[in-house]
């Protein structure tokens, strides 16, 4: 039953994404200054929102784990962190492709790029730490503490990088602020299937984590004899 629901949800997400692609390339006109490459924003921005949302949920479920000591919340924390990391990477890569076209360079030390990279490193550290601890309850406890530390660090990183970089000359970033309503709607229309995809991935990853823990428990049980 659960499996069918997940397949159904990902099917819906896929159909919506296809429909959005059609609208993006056929109905929506090119942006005046940037041309066709502008369309990358319909993926670039929603995946960033999804990644931020994942960080929020990771911190929330880490705190919940420390309070309840229920490993279900730990499984949720690792699932959202991993999926969030993937979406963050998608955000960075899509941004780099856009930057190559518009700025002429793959990477600029712009505040947003830098802070996103630091966040990715922080949460990659979380996954590395997890893989280095064998005992499930110890792993959950230490990982939860790290996740809380990382979550407090993220806003400080974002603000400080903003201060730091604005003192230096930057490449001319497209001003932003205003956006055509049709573009604006597409941003949210595309966010929905992307979010749906994230939910499906998190559910699959949680199931993996549960099975992984069961295997570990069975192995320990077998070693007792």
Could you list the residues that contact another protein (CB under 8 A)?
66, 118, 121-122, 125, 128-129, 132-133, 137-138, 141-142, 144-146, 148-150, 152-153, 156-157, 159-161, 163-164, 167
Shortest distance, CB of residue 60 to another protein, whole angstroms?
16
Nearer to another protein, 97 or 129 (CB): 129
8/15 Cα distance (integer angstroms): 11
The least distance separating another protein from the CB of residue 118, rounded to whole angstroms, comes to: 6
Q: Are the C-beta atoms of residues 125 and 112 closer than 8 Å to each other?
A: no
| Beta carbon nearer to another protein, 108 or 150 | 150
Closest CA to 73 of 155, 156, 140: 140
150 close to 123: Cβ distance less than 8 angstroms: yes
Nearest 5°: CA angle at 42, between 60 and 164? 65
Minimum distance from residue 123 beta carbon to another protein (Å): 9
Distance CA 89, CA 202 (A): 16
Q: Kindly state the smallest distance separating residue 109's Cβ from another protein, in Å.
A: 13
Q: How far is the CB of 163 from another protein (least distance, A)?
A: 6
Q: How many CA atoms lie within 13 A of 214 on its CB side?
A: 7
Q: Are 62 and 148 in contact (CB under 8 A)?
A: yes
Of the pair 47, 161, the CB lying nearest another protein is at 161
Our CB check for another protein shows the closer of 159 and 174 to be 159
Judge residue 115's burial from the number of C-beta atoms within 10 Å of its C-beta, 0-12 exposed, 13-18 middle, 19 or more buried.
buried
For the residues of 31-68, what is the DSSP string, one character each?
BTTTBGGGGGHHHHHHHHHHHHHHHHHHHHHHHHHHHH
Which residue lies nearer to another protein by CB, 166 or 185?
166
When the beta carbons of 117 and 187 are compared against another protein, the nearer one is 117
User: CB 219 → another protein: shortest distance, Å?
Assistant: 18
């Amino acid at each position: 039953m659960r499996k069918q629901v997940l397949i159904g949800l990902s099917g819906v997400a896929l159909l919506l994404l296809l429909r959005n692609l059609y609208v993006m390339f056929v109905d929506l006109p090119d942006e005046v200054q940037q041309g066709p490459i502008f369309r990358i924003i319909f993926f670039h921005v929603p995946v960033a929102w999804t990644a931020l949302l994942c960080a929020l949920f990771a911190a929330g479920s880490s705190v919940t784990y420390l309070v309840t000591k229920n490993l279900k919340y730990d499984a949720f924390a690792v699932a959202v962190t991993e999926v969030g990391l993937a979406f963050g990477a998608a955000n960075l890569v899509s941004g780099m492709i856009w930057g190559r076209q518009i700025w002429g360079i793959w990477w600029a030390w712009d505040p947003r790029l830098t802070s996103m990279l630091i966040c990715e490193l922080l949460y990659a550290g979380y996954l590395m730490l997890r893989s280095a601890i064998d005992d499930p309850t110890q792993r959950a406890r230490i990982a939860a503490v790290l996740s809380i530390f990382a979550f407090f660090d993220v806003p400080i990183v974002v603000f400080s990088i903003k201060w730091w970089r604005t003192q230096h000359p930057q490449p001319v970033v497209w001003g932003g602020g205003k956006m055509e309503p049709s573009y604006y709607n597409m941003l949210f229309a595309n966010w929905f299937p992307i979010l749906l995809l994230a939910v499906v991935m998190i559910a699959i990853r949680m199931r993996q984590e549960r099975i992984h823990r069961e295997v570990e428990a069975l192995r320990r049980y077998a070693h007792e004899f």
